[in-house]
Amino acid sequence: MSPRRDPHWIIRTYGGYGTARQTNELFRKGLADGQTGLSVAFDLPTQTGYDSDAVMAAGEVGKVGVPIAHIEDMRTVFDHIPIAEMNTSMTINATAAWLLALYIAVADEQGADRKLLRGTTQNDILKEYLSRGTFIFPPEPSIRLTADTIEFTGHEVPKWNPVNVCSYHLQEAGAGPVLEIAFTLANAVCILDAVRDRGMLTPERVGALSFFCNAGIRFIEETCKMRAFTRLWDRITRERYDVTDERFRRFRYGVQVNSLGLTAVQPENNVYRILLETLGVTLSKDARARAVQLPAWNEALGLPRAWDQQWSRRAQQILALETDLLEYDDIFKGSEVIEAKTEEIADAAWTEYERVQQQGGSVNAIDYMKEQLVTSHAKRVRGIEAGDITILGVNAEMQTEPSPLVGEGDFHIVKVSSEMQAEQIERLERFRGARDNALVTKAIDALKRAASDGTNIMPPSIDAAKAGVTTGEWSDALRDVFGTYRAPTGVSAHASAGSDPSRLADARERVKVIAGELGVGRIRILVGKPGLDGHSNAAEQLAVRARDLGLEAVYPGIRLTPAEIAQMAADEDVHVIGLSILSGAHDLIVPEVLEELRSRGVDLERVPVVVGGTIPDDDARKLVELGVARVFTPRDYDLTRNLTEVVELLARNGHH
């Protein structure tokens, strides 16, 4: 007789790219291969409320996820996939209410009972201001939209998790366990307080809140972090919200393990990293994830193929189905070591959580929290450069045999072609041409009224989805009412504090010498984030390190058009321009920036443009041919060396 086994977690693969049809095929393959849930990645225009043919969407369509511009796109993604039988996770935030409305509208078409729909919308806008950058509206109306989805799903879609409070991107932005726990719990409290202020908070609604966490390579510490998370959430739900039923106090979470630590050099090592990181959220039964999705080994190089995703899925399946992990109670019960570390993390996190509460909660503390994350990430980067944090292939064991997994060219990743983007735009134009415009106008008016008078946004959003309103139109209707927002950058003197001057002395001296040769007091670098890519960690750290080295860093934040970057370069009379693009949109955006610079009389021989991002080698060569002076990829981890190389370009070019 075989031993009793606990049921395994939901096995997901994060997927979506190119077109709705391609994403549908990817999902259907995964489900046939033993995947037990869907996790939808949306492209940046969808996440930030633009249609695929919008000016801001240029180069971004289908790159980091699937474009969903209207109900026909959503219908295609779930073609021959019975929504009523799925557990679907949607990584969507600013436009979460809209994507949920589209999903429900398609479920209605399929004849699904809304009360049986299961899944999750991430819908955690606060961490977007802090880390991921796909916000649209200011914090207050954004929290209102989140509360609307909680209220609506509580009545209409009770099995749905309307909010997945997300620590994942906080860790990617540099948070250690203490900041990750503290800021995540503070964000969760901000959301529940908003629901309580409406008089709608019940124990069931507290229990409906779920979390989406991260797990790094230090899997013992990560295990303790997750145990601390469960302990502190239990405390908050008891003390702040008077929840007595322990079922509604459970810390329910899904996880994607860490992508920040995946390397572009010796990327085959990432397979081991991913599996070890999975242990941090599965070993402890009392703090085990309910759903797990793993990145692929080659994500630092580009978009993974279906085979790469299968390889990651196999890691989960071997752990869940072949090992004896699920046959035991919590294996850490009684461990003094685990308990001591858990207590240490929990105590420090509670102190930091209270610090945020003393500032009035997450909305009021956004500037403080962002600065802490940038500072923490700067410390990590310095640790890697100094060798205090070991990463194989990056700063240790750098000699390697040639990998048969990565050869010449870009065969080992998926590339989204411009033809795919053109196909998506053509579908959008056909869709607009076939709809009833009077019905669309009526639906948009209803959306604006609801946004203005405080009526729950979900019912008119579902009506708008069925009427043929597009993602850009839904977002513009709410922009007209709520306005837009620019988040803090977190780049400050505090972020530079803690850098070791002795390690930077040679580079600082070289920067000073070249500035003197150029006849300027300080070399000015414009750090630009063009397009919709909100992953600002690299740009922030570049600006911090530039200041450490004595440069004047101009960093205006994310989401700039090529024209805005070019105008700023001309107005600020900068000496060098650094562009950071992590979304894969470099092939269209960088040439446009170069063209805008030239049209304003900026001489690229004298004012070099350098580009950093997840850029395949073939693309890097093309960018250099177009006039880019240097391309940096994740292989170039040493910021001091990179910036010194950039400054040497000025010396060779003889700027000014």
The span from the CA of 447 to the CA of 443, in Å, is 6
Instruction: Yes or no: say if 461 and 447 are a contact pair by the CB < 8 Å rule.
Output: yes
Task: Determine the pLDDT at residue 301.
Answer: 84
Q: Which residue of the set 73, 476, 533, 587 is catalytic?
A: 533
Domain with residues 493-653, CATH architecture: 3-Layer(aba) Sandwich (3.40)
pTM value is: 0.88
Query: If you ran DSSP here, which 8-state letter would residue 48 be given?
Result: T
> In CATH, what class is 10-386?
alpha beta
Task: Determine the pLDDT at residue 614.
Answer: 85
pLDDT bin (cut points 50, 70, 90) of residue 3 is: low
Cα end-to-end distance, the chain, whole Å: 82
Dump pLDDT digits (tens) for 305-331: 889 989 999 999 999 999 999 999 999
Active site annotation includes 388: no
Separation in Å, CA 361 to CA 52, 172, 180, 228:
36, 22, 15, 21
Active site annotation includes 529: yes
Active site annotation includes 533: yes
Q: Which residue of the set 50, 168, 555, 637 is catalytic?
A: 168
Dump pLDDT digits (tens) for 76-117: 999 999 999 999 999 999 999 999 999 999 999 999 999 999
- Please list, in sequence order, all residues whose beta carbon lies within 8 angstroms of the beta carbon of residue 344, skipping any fewer than 6 positions away: none
Q: Residue ranges per domain, the chain?
A: 10-386, 418-482, 493-653
Match 């806008």 to its residue by tokens. 125
Active site annotation includes 70: no
How many other C-beta atoms are found inside a 10 Å radius of the C-beta of residue 502? Answer: 7
The answer, yes or no, to whether residue 492 has pLDDT greater than 70, is no
Active site annotation includes 241: no
Active site annotation includes 169: yes
Long-range contacts of 231-239 (CB under 8 A, 24+ apart): 231/342, 231/346, 232/181, 232/185, 232/346, 232/349, 232/350, 232/353, 233/185, 233/188, 236/185, 236/188, 236/189, 237/206
Q: Which residue of the set 225, 529, 575, 655 is catalytic?
A: 529
Q: Which residue of the set 63, 70, 127, 169 is catalytic?
A: 169
Q: Which residue of the set 535, 575, 586, 655 is catalytic?
A: 535
The answer, yes or no, to whether residue 294 has pLDDT greater than 50, is yes
